[in-house]
Structure 1
Amino acid sequence: MEDMSETAAVPTLSFDPPGPQPNPRGSGARDALITFLATPFRARTWKEFAYLIIVFVLGGLAALYLFLAIGVSVYLSLFVIGVPLLAVMLLGGRVWGKVYRVLGAVLLDAALPEPPPFTPRPGLIGWLRSAFTDRTSWRALLFLLVEVLFGLIIGYGVLMIVAITALVAVSPILWATRNTVNVDAQGVPHHSMVQFGDYYLDTWPRVLGFGAVGVLGFFLLPWLFRGVCLPHRLLSRWLLTPTARDHQLAELRESRRVAVDDAAATLRRLERDLHDGTQARLVSIAMMLGRAEERMATGGDAIELITLARTGSKEALAELRELVRGIHPPALELGLEPALETLAARCAIPVELRVLLPVRPSPAIEAIAYFSVAELLTNVVKHAAATRIWVAVLPAGEDGLSVAVRDNGQGGVLQPAELPGEAVAVGGLSGLAQRARSVDGSLFVDSPVGGPTLVTLVLPIAGPR
């Protein structure tokens, strides 16, 4: 059997003949100098500077909010009216969090997904309980408290450094246009705006040298902005985005929705098949038996009608077996390997199967693996233009299994997230991915244009915990 790890042919490497090579050290130094000189003029620098100014202003407003809104609410909570007001002020942290997420996304280019929405319980008591136990609001208020200290104090220091750097950079112009005179201890006047002890900047070389320090600081400021914005970005990511628990709850809700949709689709298919096929056939059998009864009552020959009814009953039983096989294949009673062997034998394209499972998976995992392989084989037959298929079911780690389906077709299969239409579908790769996630599994697709295509499902052996 061909190895499952076989991939497309590796292109032959070619090497250029030896010749004069550029000096990597000189090139690196030149690139670093260009980066250093261009950084102050890049959009990122100005966006980070704008962010620091905005959060400095917001820090003052947030301090006022925390002092007045929360403080007054806590004081009024001694009375009945203060409890709902305190809950409203607490939920206001969500609004502040949204403002800072928008700023981080627009000015810092940070990926800050929305936390789960506030879902209150019914009734006033339920709403209050939901508000006071809303983890997102508490985390946003903690973020706001840190931002008040960080945005105001450090932000003020950064803005002062920017202002001083700008003044130093333009100090030669100010020195030339203003007649500022300082008198030293000996009574000697100096045309100087800045002095360091007894050292006066009262000549053009000294003033220009001092201005050059300001210009150099102008090129160093972007790195200061980046260093100060980094904690802001990390703090936003830690306190304003969904936690691992939030992601898990969202995945559980999505898995439950997919399971409900899948069950509803299965019920609709069964209803359609029973109504259009088996039910119509049973009605036909009943009619034939009624006509046979009438003939026998009049002394006629009813053998032909009884024979037709008998044939129809056999066909109805066969259809019912097919429906039952669609719900739970009988082959799975013997295990996943015999069931996959049945699928491989029925496939229109030759399938090579390899199954190595030291421990038998749970029934739910076997059913997901079986139907996933069945759908993948159908997709290959319909769309891949392949001539061979390889299926391997192997252990994955200590308590998992991987189901890999590979074909030598034309490739170019879209990833589940790239599929058009709804993000979650009952069928197709999106449906398979959701089905795998419903049991804490995952799906991976490797399908370059031209092939081959490899689809791998990683599932837990015992199902979700």
Structure 2
Amino acid sequence: MSDTAALPTIVLDPPAPQPDPGRGPSPRTVLRAFLVTPFTARTWKEFAYLIIVFGLGCLAAAYLFLAIGGSLCLSLFVVGIPVLAAAILGGRVWGRIYRVLGVVLLDADLPEPPPFAFRPGPIGWLRSAFTDRTAWRALLFLVLEGLLGVVVGYGVLVAVALSGFVALSPVLWAVANPVNVDEQGVPHHSMIQINEFYLDTWPRTLGFGALGVLGCLLLPWVIRGVCFLHRALSFGLLAPTARDRRLAELQQSRKAAVDDAAATLRRLERDLHDGTQARLVSIAMMLGRAEERIAAGGDAGDLIAQARTGSKEALTELRELVRGIHPPALELGLEPALETLAARCALPVESRVLLPVRPSPAIEAIAYFSVAELLTNVVKHSAANRIWVAVLPAGTDSLSVSVRDNGQGGALQPAEDRGEAVVVGGLSGLAQRARAVDGALTVDSPIGGPTVVTLVLPIAGPR
């Protein structure tokens, strides 16, 4: 193990510069935002969202009254029970409609909820429908969205219509030439009358129109606030819950663990079949020929020597296979096991292990094989001439395993559909292996290097 000072400092994500709390936006910036906001695409998309959800809210209220209320009445009879179950599952359809609207018009990243868990048989289907949390949450969303989208939305839409009308009132006053007659029979060139006050002059009409323009400048911020509430309600009831995300992660981790175990089993079967089994068959044939030669009175020493050599080679192959399943060095702990890996590596490796508590055997095995694969990748692909390995605590119940090299970098490849760097190849397998135990893998590999791969693993294994 090398000196601590020889290990370079690893910085994966430098802290982002923090804004100065003493400096707010300038008055010019505020004025520009105030004047430009009514003409931005976001404002018009949010306004379109309010119009659409107002209509959908009315339809959803009818659905809740007719489908849910009617099926509740019918549930007094046997035929109404499946109708009620179907009406409950209809909440999923409504939820999908609102999620699409939120993604398209509000730019909200709303992931799909877990799919419907169907149990076989009529009774199983009814149980699945009545216990579907996603459908029930969507129905609750419809109730709350009816209040927010219909009641509040109606007030906002009326305010928008009135502001637009007042802002255009000077044009209508000049073009339409409206006339109001007071109680004394005196005509007034006025479109709007407030008690005995008539807007019958240009100053009065323009002043009234200025109020409408001011309302048009203020209402986009009201629309933005209402849409913020819509977005929060969508995230709260239409997006997957923490439990749903946890379940999806566990399912993915279980699949990754099963696939990894199946791949390891296939590799062992292939190695045993193509290597050790073939060598043992060859040894058996040599011993058979030696037995025949001895029975005929000949000398079988060369065949026995070949069989002895083959048995030693078979034992060596079996040791390598056993080391691939569980390295003997891990019996002494992770530190000597990694020192063994470092000694076998073709490049100079400096390692540092500082763990106050020994991890569980499963975590030690994952850390060992991950470091082994990372060292192999560095030797093959990085064009590096030096490697650093560090295993350090990462909090009270986690450890951090980092492998750094001074190679050419570029371990990440851009995703064509998202324009971001993604982990590919063997690194993606390491990421799946880490997620299987509630861990995580991060990669920092700019073009030109250096490359730092870090695994954060729980010391005691998955929860």
In the superposition, the TM-score normalised over structure 2's length comes to 0.92
Q: Which residue matches 1:292?
A: 290
* CA distance in 2 between partners of 1:7 and 1:403 (Å): 14
Q: Which residue matches 1:357?
A: 355
Q: Which residue matches 1:165?
A: 163
- Deviating more after overlay: 275-284 vs 168-177: 168-177
Could you give the per-residue CA deviations for residues 209-267 of structure 1, whole angstroms, max 9, x where no partner exists? 11122122222222121111110011001100111101110111111111111111111
* CA distance in 2 between partners of 1:172 and 1:382 (Å): 77
- Deviating more after overlay: 193-202 vs 58-67: 193-202
Q: Which residue matches 2:279?
A: 281
* CA distance in 1 between partners of 2:292 and 2:68 (Å): 88
Q: Which residue matches 1:142?
A: 140
Q: Which residue matches 1:228?
A: 226
Shift of 1:412: 1.9
* CA distance in 1 between partners of 2:30 and 2:174 (Å): 35
Query: What SS is found at the alignment partner of 2:412?
Result: coil
* CA distance in 1 between partners of 2:415 and 2:315 (Å): 41
Q: Which residue matches 2:453?
A: 455
Query: What SS is found at the alignment partner of 1:50?
Result: helix
- Among 195, 198, 201, the alignment partner of 2:199 is 201
Contact 1:406 1:452 in 2 (8 A): yes
* 1:35-434 correspondence runs (5 A): 35-184=33-182, 188-414=186-412, 428-434=426-432
Which amino acid in the other structure matches residue 82 of structure 2?
A: P
Could you give the per-residue CA deviations for residues 328-361 of structure 1, whole angstroms, max 9, x where no partner exists? 1111111111111110000001011111111111
Shift of 1:408: 0.9
Shift of 1:187: 5.3
Unaligned runs of 5+ residues in structure 2 are: 15-22
Distance 1:415 1:434, change over 3 A: farther
Could you give the per-residue CA deviations for residues 134-189 of structure 1, whole angstroms, max 9, x where no partner exists? 11001000001111111111111111111111111121122223343334456544
* RMSD between aligned residues: 2.2
Aligned residues: 447
Contact 1:194 1:200 in 2 (8 A): yes
Which amino acid in the other structure matches residue 7 of structure 2?
A: D
Q: Which residue matches 2:436?
A: 438
Contact 2:413 2:423 in 1 (8 A): no
Q: Which residue matches 2:18?
A: none
Shift of 1:366: 0.4
Could you give the per-residue CA deviations for residues 82-101 of structure 1, whole angstroms, max 9, x where no partner exists? 11111110000000000000
- Deviating more after overlay: 347-356 vs 182-191: 182-191
Could you give the per-residue CA deviations for residues 351-380 of structure 1, whole angstroms, max 9, x where no partner exists? 111111111111001000100110111111
* CA distance in 1 between partners of 2:356 and 2:63 (Å): 61
* CA distance in 2 between partners of 1:48 and 1:461 (Å): 47
Percent of aligned pairs sharing the same letter = 76
Query: What SS is found at the alignment partner of 1:63?
Result: helix
Shift of 1:191: 2.2
Contact 1:439 1:459 in 2 (8 A): yes
Distance 1:385 1:325, change over 3 A: same
Shift of 1:47: 0.7
* CA distance in 2 between partners of 1:101 and 1:305 (Å): 76
* CA distance in 2 between partners of 1:357 and 1:227 (Å): 50
Distance 1:385 1:371, change over 3 A: same
Shift of 1:445: 1.2
Which amino acid in the other structure matches residue 67 of structure 2?
A: A
Could you give the per-residue CA deviations for residues 263-310 of structure 1, whole angstroms, max 9, x where no partner exists? 111111111111111111111111111110111111000000000001
Which amino acid in the other structure matches residue 226 of structure 2?
A: V
Contact 2:10 2:452 in 1 (8 A): no
In the superposition, the TM-score normalised over structure 1's length comes to 0.92
Distance 1:440 1:90, change over 3 A: same
Which amino acid in the other structure matches residue 112 of structure 1?
A: L
Shift of 1:190: 2.4
Query: What SS is found at the alignment partner of 1:170?
Result: helix
* CA distance in 2 between partners of 1:54 and 1:277 (Å): 68
Contact 2:407 2:448 in 1 (8 A): yes
Could you give the per-residue CA deviations for residues 383-416 of structure 1, whole angstroms, max 9, x where no partner exists? 1111111111111111111111111111122179
Which amino acid in the other structure matches residue 201 of structure 2?
A: T
Shift of 1:200: 1.6
Contact 1:424 1:434 in 2 (8 A): no
Contact 2:384 2:407 in 1 (8 A): yes
- Deviating more after overlay: 110-119 vs 172-181: 172-181
Contact 1:415 1:445 in 2 (8 A): no
Could you give the per-residue CA deviations for residues 118-140 of structure 1, whole angstroms, max 9, x where no partner exists? 01111111111111111100100
Could you give the per-residue CA deviations for residues 15-40 of structure 1, whole angstroms, max 9, x where no partner exists? xxxxxxxxx99x93333333322222
Unaligned runs of 5+ residues in structure 1 are: 11-23
Contact 2:409 2:451 in 1 (8 A): yes
Shift of 1:442: 1.0
* CA distance in 2 between partners of 1:40 and 1:247 (Å): 38
* CA distance in 1 between partners of 2:215 and 2:365 (Å): 66
Contact 2:411 2:423 in 1 (8 A): no
* CA distance in 1 between partners of 2:362 and 2:423 (Å): 21
* CA distance in 2 between partners of 1:85 and 1:278 (Å): 64
Distance 1:418 1:350, change over 3 A: farther
Shift of 1:417: 8.1
* CA distance in 2 between partners of 1:300 and 1:307 (Å): 15
* CA distance in 2 between partners of 1:349 and 1:47 (Å): 58
Q: Which residue matches 1:18?
A: none
* CA distance in 2 between partners of 1:147 and 1:344 (Å): 61
